[in-house]
Structure 1
Amino acid sequence: MLTVHHLGISQSDRIVWLCEELGIPYELVRYDRDPVTRLAPASYKALHPSGTAPVISDDDLVLAESGAIIDYIVAKLGGGRLTLQSDHPDFAQFLYWYHFANGSMMPCMMMLMAEGSVAEMMRDRANRNLVALNEHFAKGNQWLAGEEFTVADIMILFPLTTIRAFVPLDLSPYPHLRSYLKRAIARPAFQRAMAKADPDLQIPAD
């Protein structure tokens, strides 16, 4: 049985959402952050050597890292859904945005918690990433992989929404990106996921 170990207000939101989109059975075990430090409790850190969210278990397997978990679930339990095959015309675009979320966007957002010249450099990089996303949707793309919703969209939402509970992010200059976020947040599977994972969290779309 697949178990999603969900740390409140964390990247494990993605995994709950993925399971809801795929309509697969899973058990949700929720862990609250320390109210003072806002860090994961010791019980969560003990799940995997990485000590970070997300984490899943499936029988004897314990797996961390958003991308690895998504690939595992899609391949083993999801029948390859929410991905594009190599012969699809938007395959390369899908791959780019799928890896962009944690390869480019998340490091920028995390570094904005720091101070000084490094934070300023990361803010500039984050702004360029936001411009690129806005331009992508300005071209008429409904989703990151064109007209098809994929795991790339599941990956990108956290650094654009939930992480803003920790890092301020002004999206007012990016109207096409804001419209995209509203589409994503309105998906029934997303609404179900957040009702289970973080029911008290207000998800910003602007």
Structure 2
Amino acid sequence: MLKVHHLNQSRSQRVLWALEELNVPYDIIRYEREKTMLAPASLKKVHPLGKSPVLEDDGLIIAESGAILEYLEEYYDPTHQLQPQDKAQKLQYRFWLHYAEGSLMPLLLMKLVFGRLGKPPVPFGLRTLGNALGQGVQKAYLNQQIETHARFIEAELAHKPWFAGDNLSMADVQMSFPVFALLSRGSIDNLPNLQAWKKRVEMRPAWKQGIEKGGPFTLPGE
């Protein structure tokens, strides 16, 4: 049986959702974040990077969300339930599958990091300087970049319910983490298409089942 090394409040929620959509049985090995919000050192026993998610399948160890989702699509989705076959939609599917972590998520992570430069664990004496630096970088660069991406995604969802077209795909699964983070931390108003997409995700039985098994998924703001 497949094993998912699952860290709370992390990208591994995507893997649980995908497995529930595919109705593939799996076991969960749970890990809790440290007070620093980093993954525990015990994850390094599974993969040298010590990150989650990690998927185990008959001795194979697969890391990285996108690689895991492509692996599940290749070996556990024989009817291509979560991959479009139309050429144009397949191109969109591939774009969003890579865009999520290649373009959008780095900006959101930077915003989180710079937003916390004035807070613990930054030493008390450096917090004023850290806060000024963090706010300056966000104002001068990050906020504009994130809004550009948010408006791009909002426009893309204006005429289709899912990222690759009319049906849910692994592209939506991959985009779930950065979109939830964007809506939580991006401080951008008037994104009705993104909000509607989020509601469609949250209404899916497989999403709810993944939450029940994996634990709360709230991605609080800074």
What TM-score does the superposition give when structure 1 sets the normalisation length? 0.88
2:16 maps to: 16
Find out whether 1:154 has 2:164 as its counterpart. no
Match of 1:103 in 2: 102
2:84 aligned with 1:84, yes or no? yes
Which amino acid counterpart does residue 174 of structure 2 have in structure 1?
A: M
- Look at both structures and tell me which one has the larger radius of gyration over its CA atoms: 2
Identity %: 36
Residue 193 of structure 1 pairs with residue 192 of structure 2: no
Deviations 1:46-96 (A, max 9, x none): 3112221111111211111011111111111222430123x4332222211
Describe the SS at the equivalent of 1:4: strand
Letter in 2 for 1:134: E
Give 1:39 deviation, angstroms: 1.2
Alignment pair present for 1:177 and 2:194:
yes
Letter in 1 for 2:73: V
What is the distance in 1 between the residues matched to 2:146 and 2:182?
13
Task: Report how far residue 171 of structure 1 moved.
Answer: 4.5
Q: What CA RMSD, in Å, does the superposition of the two structures yield over aligned residues?
A: 2.0
Q: Which has the higher helix share?
A: 2
Distance 1:64 1:40, change over 3 A: same
Q: Which runs of 5+ in 1 are unaligned?
A: none
| CA deviation after TM superposition for structure 1 residue 168, in Å | 2.2
Q: Would you say the 8 A contact 1:171–1:178 is kept in 2?
A: no
Using the TM superposition, give the Cα deviation of residue 192 of structure 1 relative to its aligned residue in structure 2, in angstroms: 0.6
CA contact (8 A) 1:137 1:177 kept: yes
Quote how far apart the aligned CAs of 1:169 are: 2.4
2:200 partner amino acid: R
Counterpart check, 1:32 vs 2:32: yes
- What's the offset of the Cα at 1:118? 4.7
Measured in 2, the distance between the counterparts of 1:172 and 1:116 equals 19
Alignment of 1:45-64 (within 5 A): 45-64=44-63
Matched position secondary structure for 1:101: helix
Instruction: Name the SS of the counterpart of 2:157 in structure 1.
Output: helix
In 1, Cα distance between the equivalents of 2:66 and 2:185?
25
Unaligned runs of 5+ in 2: 115-133
TM-score, with structure 2 as normaliser: 0.82
Separation of aligned partners in 1, 2:215 and 2:179 = 16
1:56 aligned counterpart, secondary structure: strand
